[in-house]
Amino acid sequence: MALLKILQYPDRRLHTLAQPVTEVTEAIRRLAADMAETMYAAPGVGLAATQVDRHIRMIVIDISEEKNDLMVFINPQILERDGEITHEEGCLSVPGIYEKVSRAEHVKVSAQNVEGQLFEQEAHGLLATCLQHEIDHLNGRVFVEYLSRLKQDRIRNKLLKQQRETM
């Protein structure tokens, strides 16, 4: 397995629309394992392929305390959404920034697993937020884009300054 480099906002590649996975191959399974390792090492609770500059529709999530409940969603689709919940969100591509975002409290998602089998997942609360956040990445959307233009500009400038200083 390998640790992958995570793209940092405002990298334009984070706005790429990810393509569907046509076949769940050994290479896809290897990427899922590398994404999981990268997420755990960061550490984070979710990672989309977009964030490691692989523009296919796959995300990994683990919101468990013990970090032993890895979920892989290939070609995830939101079938139902309702309610509303606000969480303070962060993102491995936007280090050090935490902001409140309102999303659906419940979603029902269909996806394929690493064996290529279709499954459905009901999600509430934090898991629902995570799924929506990660699926947004596949659509080229970063959570800061839900914030005001002023906040987005501040975050962009702060991160660009940090990136310059660490170069």
Q: Are 52 and 4 in contact (CB under 8 A)?
A: yes
CB of 96 to Ni ion, least distance (A): 13
CB of 23 to Ni ion, least distance (A): 26
Cis peptide before 10 (omega within 30 of 0): yes
CB of 150 to Ni ion, least distance (A): 21
Closer by beta carbon to Ni ion, 60 or else 74? 60
Q: State which of positions 99-158 bind Ni ion (CB under 5 A).
A: none
Q: Are 74 and 21 in contact (CB under 8 A)?
A: yes
Closer by beta carbon to Ni ion, 116 or else 141? 141
Strand locations in 7-152, DSSP E? 46-48, 58-61, 71-82, 85-89, 99-103, 106-112, 118-124
Closer by beta carbon to Ni ion, 98 or else 115? 98
Q: What is the CA radius of gyration of the chain?
A: 15
Residue with tokens 């200083």: 165
User: How big is the site for Ni ion, counted in residues (CB under 5 A)?
Assistant: 1
- Catalytic (active site) residue 134: yes
Q: State which of positions 69-98 bind Ni ion (CB under 5 A).
A: 91
Which residue sits closest to Ni ion, CB atoms considered? Answer: 91
Identify the active-site residue in 26, 134, 145, 165.
134
Q: Are 90 and 3 in contact (CB under 8 A)?
A: no
Short-list 161, 167, 165, CA closest to 10? 161
Closer by beta carbon to Ni ion, 24 or else 91? 91
Q: State which of positions 22-61 bind Ni ion (CB under 5 A).
A: none
The footprint of Ni ion (CB under 5 A) covers: 91
* Residues with active-site annotation: 134
